[in-house]
A and B are shown apart, each in its own frame.
Chain A
Amino acid sequence: QKEVEQDPGPLSVPEGAIVSLNCTYSNSAFQYFMWYRQYSRKGPELLMYTYSSGNKEDGRFTAQVDKSSKYISLFIRDSQPSDSATYLCAMTPTGANSKLTFGKGITLSVRP
């Protein structure tokens, strides 16, 4: 079993839809959970991070972590064509020296 599993996609939704992106993981040592967004032919950029369990909201984006189920989600409300990108989850144990483990990424397309 991979340490981090991410829905493979691709995912296509109409503009205005609510999008749910998910990852599961197996390593209980993971404490920080991140979502990166990657536009075509660009480097990944950090979108949001969450520490331990709970929700975090930033505009139209909500990150949710359920450590008991080892499950994380990213919700996008009122999706826009500009949200079309690949989304990667990443996670790491506590500590500035620890390495990130990434999901494979899911490509989202928001249709006008």
Chain B
Amino acid sequence: DAGITQSPRHKVTETGTPVTLRCHQTENHRYMYWYRQDPGHGLRLIHYSYGVKDTDKGEVSDGYSVSRSKTEDFLLTLESATSSQTSVYFCAISVAGGEYNEQFFGPGTRLTVL
């Protein structure tokens, strides 16, 4: 399972509250990603990181911020959660040294914003 954990696994929150999701990896992979998965949209990239303090936006980054102060942790923050951010969030890591971007996914966090 590439040593990826996500916390919390489930969360219910109210509109306007801040929410932070954590992704933790145990194998010091350089690249980490946050995706959201919604019916009819598939997996969409929110943000990604290519090293400590090095992050960049994906295709659906509005309303989200990320931080990576340690190699093993990648945090996704919803500064003020909205109902449109109700989704399943997946963290992924990319295994370096391969021919292409082989990604492995965590178990997901199911977030409901009321």
Contacts and interface: CB of A to CB of B under 8 A. Distances in A.
Interface of A: 6, 31-32, 36, 41-46, 49, 51, 88, 92, 94-100, 102-105
B50 interface: yes
A88 B94 CA distance: 17
Contact of B43 (A42, A88, A92, A96): A88
A100 B107 contact: no
B42 A49 contact: no
A92 to B, nearest CB: 5
Contact of A44 (B43, B99, B101, B102): B43
Nearest to A32: B100
7 contacts: A43-B105, A43-B107, A88-B42, A88-B43, A97-B31, A99-B45, A100-B45
A77 B42 CA distance: 25
Interface in B5-22: none
Interface residues of B, number: 26
Interface in B86-114: 90, 94, 96-108, 110
B50 A46 contact: no
A96 B96 contact: yes
A98 B100 contact: yes
A100 B44 CA distance: 10
Given A96-B98, A99-B101, 5 more contacts: A32-B101, A43-B108, A45-B105, A100-B45, A102-B43
Given A44-B90, A104-B42, A31 B105 contact: no
A97 B56 CA distance: 12
Contacts of A43: 90, 105-108
Contacts of B99: 32, 51, 94, 96
B74 interface: no
Contacts of B96: 96
A46 B94 CA distance: 12
B41 A46 contact: no
A18 to B, nearest CB: 25
B42 A41 contact: no
A108 to B, nearest CB: 15
